[in-house]
Homo-oligomer: A and B are copies of this chain.
Amino acid sequence: MSGPPTTLPLRSSPDYWASANADIQAHLERAIQIRHPLAVSEPMRHLAFSAPETTAPALCLLACELVGGSRDQAVAAGSALRLVHAAASAHEGLLSSRPRKDGPKFGPNIELLTGDGLIPFGLELLASPTTQAESSSRVLRAIIEIARASGSHGMVEARYNEIEMIDSDGDEEEWVERVCKKKEGEIHACAGACGAILGGRGEEEIEKLRRYGVYVGMIQGIVAAKRVGRGRRRRRRRRRTWLERKVGELRELGLNELKGFDREKVEPIASLMLTSEHDRRLRVTD
């Protein structure tokens, strides 16, 4: 057993994430080929690769490595998570309450249909023939996790909550719980759990990495929302203070879940809890 990773010197090193993302990108580049009819495959490539960045896919790979698995075991699941995110982004632009500023590149019909194809394609990648029966059951479990997180009681419900609260000046606490926890929290939780499942670890580690994912996702949600920048100055300051405190609490809770793992291996996955970048982004929105 190693000491508490909260004492780790968290260097400003996004390299781990960049390298995991590069592996996912390469996997998807090979999988999504331009083929006839171009009107179908071109928008698919475009939507898959142009979606805004998210940390969940890389978390899946790093969680797998943390429990002693190899990155290869999780790269298809990471790719599926990226496609789930891309599908959600494509359809988000079509919701009539939040028209995208730049408008859909391919017209709404194509973005609707193409978005429809991305999630099944991701799960197809994940289900690709495996040779060992043991890994078949792990893959099935990861499929259940990802399907649940992207389905009607996961992502879809989260977007429903978000739309409901979109113009709400409501309580920050409620927003963090109903939107950040449900939206970014659950998909990151799924990513952490899938990494541990595919790495072949037991229930305790799976649940630890699931909880770690919730905290990472909530922080991502808070930081990405740029919620500080609205309203009067005094209110903004109060909000920022509250959000900074909240991010701090979530970071502690998250790092706490990494206790007990191999201390040597904790740094890559812990690097997402990095202080400086979050603080910078919260500050920019002030």
Residue of B114, B136, B151 touching A120 (CB-CB under 8 A): B151
A148 located at the interface, meaning its Cβ lies under 8 Å from any Cβ of chain B in the complex:
yes
Other A-B contacts than A37-B157, A116-B156, 17 sampled, CB-CB below 8 A, are: A39-B160, A44-B152, A87-B116, A95-B109, A95-B112, A97-B109, A113-B156, A116-B155, A117-B151, A120-B150, A121-B147, A123-B147, A127-B141, A128-B144, A129-B140, A129-B141, A133-B134
Cβ contact within 8 Å between B147 and A140: no
A153 located at the interface, meaning its Cβ lies under 8 Å from any Cβ of chain B in the complex:
yes
Q: How many copies does the complex hold?
A: 2
Which residues on B sit within 8 Å (CB–CB) of A129? 140-141, 144
Which residues on B sit within 8 Å (CB–CB) of A41? 152-153
Task: Say how far A194's CB is from chain B's closest CB, in angstroms.
Answer: 13
A14 located at the interface, meaning its Cβ lies under 8 Å from any Cβ of chain B in the complex:
no
Main secondary structure of the interface of A (DSSP, over half): helix
Which residues on B sit within 8 Å (CB–CB) of A96? 108-109
Which 5 pairs of residues, A with B, have the shortest CB-CB distance?
A117-B152, A124-B147, A120-B151, A133-B133, A120-B147
Please give the number of chain A residues whose Cβ is less than 8 angstroms from any Cβ of chain B in the complex: 55
Name A residues whose Cβ lies closer than 8 Å to a Cβ of B: 35, 37, 39-41, 44, 87-88, 91, 94-97, 108-109, 112-121, 123-124, 127-130, 133-134, 136-137, 139-141, 143-144, 146-148, 150-157, 159-161, 163
Which chain B residue shows the least CB distance to A151? B120
